[in-house]
Amino acid sequence: MSADRRPVRVRIAPSPTGFLHVGNVRAALFNWLFARRHGGVFIIRIDDTDLARSEDHYIADVVEGFRWLGLDWDEGVEVGGPHGTYFQSDRFDRYQEVTDQLIEAGRAYHDFRTVEELEGLRARARAEKKPPGYYIRRPADSDPEADRLRIRRGEKAVVRFSGPGKSVVFNDLVRGKVRFEADAIDDFVILRSDGSPTYHLASTVDDIDYRISHVARGEDLLSSTPKHMLITEALGGEHPEYAHLPLLFGPDGRKLSKRHGDTSLRSYREGGFLPEAVFNYMSLLGWSLDPEREVFDRAETIDAFDLADVQKSPAVFDPQKLAWMNGVYIRMMGTGAFADQSVQAAEADLDRTLTEDEKGRLRDIAPLVQERTKLIIEIGPAVRFLFDDISYDEKAWRKVMKGDAARALGAAQEALKEVEEWNPEPIERALRAMLEAEALSARKGFQPIRVAISGSNISPPLFESLAALPQNVALQRIAAAIRLLAEAPA
Ligand code: GLU
């Protein structure tokens, strides 16, 4: 395909007016994969023409987000490159220059009409069931020389691109042949009356200047593409190939929005997700490597990816499925790597460093935590009982601290006192003998112990949890629960 024709240069162009959104992340990922597959260049451009709404911390969020996901870029924000800063706000002179050039060539004109006049033209189009911009064309008396004078005298006007009155047809890599009729393409604004460029102008000029070979972006921008192609043609630029990626839907089949939960990458970054899992999951939003297999690594994805294989139908973004995949990735981690993560997570959770002894105890139990963890943020709370005084989960306490609980705890205390080698097997032997002697079921006999030592009824397995605590601490906690139960039975 055309990837052989031009060196592959692709871009993602977020507007820093909000946190990086999963839709943008998916588009970035597909561009990145395409660039890496073809040995091309991946660029991050910052579309900050809306100066009032662009904020620095959103730019930082973009940079941190892509770094976290491992989408390295070859040109653009922070890394620079041959095209300046890659911030649109630094290129207003260039957009002005191009606008002048288009006016000069008769492809654009100043429009001094008032809001009311334009609304009148739109109303007329509506009444005649024509496209809204049908009558907003170059006024008959438009004269570039006279217009320039009026601007110099301080009058305000927008600049519109002058539609050539022909349809635009192109071959979209995802959607196939796409056609826009001339009537449906209005004389769109390229420069606002304050001199700022619109998205159509700035994006197209940048795509030309940066020699972008392929534009892969969300399908919501499909109707912008004929406009960009007309500008490109008028400027004698080379058209990139276009690939419009399917929209993202929520699991309920509706367009992805706030209603489906948090959709910023940041929330996943901070919510205990692994970048590898997010990478893998996002690659499946509109593409698949193999219908039989959902889990594959970065290298496999790069080797197999092609924009031409992206599906047309909407893709479903399901946070629960992503959490499931994150669990799969957590279980694929090496034991050592997971133990390191656990130390980090526990230290962050406790807001202090762990002693060597504490680290050792955590490492012993980490493999059991690993089997039960879906999100990295679950680790801290799950192992907190190993290091800090516990507080009881009220529901868990009410559920198990009744009936035979006091008897089970008393018997467990006696049995555990006698354990000489404080390891899971001897602990298990002692407690099973206790069950037998007290004629208690495992549930009735063990659940109170679990709550007594961890505060919760969902800790890692009991014998290992006990062994991960110093023996005296385990015994003190059981004694404390017995006391509490005697004072205030549930
Ligand atoms: N700044 C635009 C956006 O974030 C870029 C769209 C494009 O890729 O052309 O939607």
Contact in structure between 413 and 482 (CB atoms under 8 Å): yes
pLDDT value at residue 105: 97
CA 85 to ligand 1 center in whole angstroms: 17
pLDDT value at residue 262: 83
For a ligand 1 pocket test, name from 86, 221, 223 the mutation site with the most ligand atoms within 8 angstroms of its C-beta.
221
Please identify which residue in the block is written with the tokens 């190993």.
Answer: 386
What distances in angstroms separate CA 430 from CA 246, 306, 412, 482, one per listed residue?
Answer: 60, 60, 8, 19
Cβ of 221 less than 6 Å from ligand 1:
yes
CA distance 242 to 228: 11
pLDDT value at residue 4: 53
The dihedral region occupied by 340, where left means phi > 0, alpha psi between -120 and 50, and beta the remainder, is: alpha
pLDDT value at residue 480: 97
Taking the chain (490 residues) in runs of 10, the rounded mean pLDDT of each run is: 75 97 97 98 97 96 98 97 97 98 98 97 96 94 95 97 96 98 95 97 98 97 98 98 97 88 93 97 96 95 97 95 97 96 96 96 96 94 94 95 96 98 97 97 96 91 96 98 85
pLDDT value at residue 1: 47
CA distance 432 to 429: 5
pLDDT value at residue 20: 96
Measured in whole angstroms, the distance separating CA 436 from the mean position of its chain's CA atoms is 53
- Which atom from ligand 1 is nearest to the alpha carbon of 27? 8
Closest-CA residue to 288 (of 259, 326, 246): 246
Is 227 assigned a catalytic role? no
pLDDT value at residue 2: 47
Cβ of 224 less than 6 Å from ligand 1:
no
CA distance 205 to 409: 75
For a ligand 1 pocket test, name from 45, 46, 47 the mutation site with the most ligand atoms within 8 angstroms of its C-beta.
47
Question: HSE (CB half, 13 Å, CA atoms) of 25?
Answer: 32
Task: Compute the residue count for the chain.
Answer: 490
CA distance 195 to 191: 6
What distances in angstroms separate CA 74 from CA 39, 50, 241, 261, 418, one per listed residue?
Answer: 11, 25, 20, 33, 64
The dihedral region occupied by 179, where left means phi > 0, alpha psi between -120 and 50, and beta the remainder, is: beta
- Catalytic hit among 258, 359, 402, 417: 258
